[in-house]
Amino acid sequence: MSSNRPDIRPQLGLRRIINVSGTMTALGASIVVPEAVQMVDSILSEFVEINELHRRACATIAQATGAEAGCMTASCSAGISVSIAGCMTGADLARIEQLPDATGMKDEVLIQPGHMVYYGAPIEQAIRLTGAKVVTVGQATFARPYHLAAAVTERTAAAVYVISHHAVQYGQIELGEFCAICRARGVPVIVDAASEYDLRGFLAKGADLVAYSAHKFLGGPTAGIVAGRKDLVRAAFLQNYGIGRGMKVGKESIAGAIAALEAWGKRDHAAVRAREAGYLKLWMERLAKVPGLRPSIVPDPTDNPLDRLKLEVDQGESSTTAWALAAALARAEPPIIVRDHEVEHGHFFLDPCNLHPGEAEVVADQIASVAAAIRGKPSPDLADLRRRQYEALLAWPDRLP
Ligand SMILES: *Cc1c(COP(=O)(O)O)cnc(C)c1O
């Protein structure tokens, strides 16, 4: 590694992985920006009146998003749960303490099946944690406005809309129309925009609440950000006195996320893009020369201002598979963790967003050398590979031999 930054990982017995997978919670999400690191460091040894810190966060979120109000939560997933709970209880502490028993409250939450994503846990569970029931709208690749209109009943508490590469990208109801249908029927719309750079557009299209992750593109500590209508944000905040207690966000995450949001407003986004474009160019040039690898540059599927390198593995020419190469890279030294959620299609992606200086070169070298090393070796069966990963998970904290 060319940089001399201090690295705590070996002291903890951790591998020095290089993340070209994206802002994955399972890999520690993102490189936290210096402003947030400084803030976390400064607040940890101080006492604070936590609701005053929340009030300060509310102002920062409102300013950054154009919303009436905002609230910090433990994570985006927690933000979805407390937002739904707030739609069920309003600002009523008796109801807040009653959940997840939803007796006497509206308890149906609408979602398109194409939006029933898995982000490390199923989004339906984040909804059901409140005591609400999930009601689907249309089918996985076919949801229409009439499905949504017909699904609304007097029990409907809220509707959830997901913007994500995890969601089905066609056959869904467009957000503006989704919000218009819900608004006409008095149903609040909660948008899961965990990984979306756009802090204003979803509210502008009519969403009542939008939930983001602080620890993804913003480069904050682990936290969630909920922005939107003041009455609903207040009701979501008040869940800290109910089901939100076990998902509470600490002072370091609230203050750190405030710093990350403020830093986002001042960030030189053009310079960041130029740096990422430089990595992509380097990878294109280097990997196009590796037999059997076909690199191309592809835009983000949900229109974030971000491109990635798509690496197609030609099984005939490379005599290996995309999943064998991805798995071998994860075992290599240093380990390279690629974006492999579509690996059965014969490709994976390299995400340029989370690299320390010098790492892009290491990634290119490592891919070239690992591809050469596994050339002609039999590729594992993808189902076997996945079964082993599953068995390894279930064996935790033990390690499989
Ligand atoms: C990452 C992600 C989440 C979960 O975010 P956390 O802040 O880690 O809870 C929820 N929804 C989508 C679409 C995501 O990508």
CATH of the domain at 107: 3.40.640.10
Residues 262 and 282 in one domain: no
| Whether residue 18 sits in one domain with residue 92 | no
The residue whose CB lies within 8 Å of the most ligand 1 atoms, and thus the one to mutate among 32, 76, 116, 196, is: 76
Q: Which residues line ligand 1 (CB under 6 A)?
A: 25, 75-77, 117, 119, 162, 164, 166, 192, 194-195, 213, 224
Q: How far is the CA of 17 from the centre of ligand 1 (A)?
A: 22
Among 24, 32, 116, 119, the mutation site with the greatest number of ligand 1 atoms within 8 A of its Cβ is 119
* Any domain includes 2: no
* Per-residue tokens: 139: 């089918």
Rg (CA), the chain: 22
Atom of ligand 1 nearest to the CA of 76: 7
What is the block-wise mean pLDDT of the chain (401 residues), using blocks of 10 residues? 77 97 94 98 98 98 98 98 98 98 98 97 98 98 98 98 97 98 98 97 98 98 98 98 98 98 96 97 97 96 96 89 96 97 96 96 97 91 94 95 82
Going 198 to 202 to 203 to 207, the CA torsion angle's sign is negative
Per-residue pLDDT at 317: 82
**What pLDDT is attached to residue 3?**
58
User: Does 262 lie in the same domain as 131?
Assistant: yes
Q: Which atom of ligand 1 is nearest to the CA of 223?
A: 7
Domain co-membership, 136 together with 245: yes
Domain residues for the domain of 58 are 34-266
For residue 269, report the distance from its CA to the centre of ligand 1, in Å: 23
Rounded-to-integer distance, Cα 233 and Cα 226, Å? 7
Instruction: Specify if 101 maps to a domain.
Output: yes
Question: How far apart are alpha carbons 280 and 161 in whole angstroms?
Answer: 32
Q: Give yes or no: residues 237 and 311 share one domain.
A: no
Res 15: pLDDT: 96
Which of 23, 24, 25, 226 is the best mutation target for the ligand 1 pocket, counting ligand atoms within 8 Å of the beta carbon and taking the most? 25
Same domain, 303 and 252: no
Domain end call among 266, 291, 315: 266
Q: Are residues 248 and 113 in the same domain?
A: yes
145 and 278 both lie in a single domain: no
Question: Which residues face 143 on adjacent strands?
Answer: none
d(CA 218, CA 265): 10
Q: Do 101 and 250 fall within a single domain?
A: yes
Question: What is the domain-level CATH number for residue 342?
Answer: 3.90.1150.180
CA of 377 to the centre of ligand 1 (A): 37
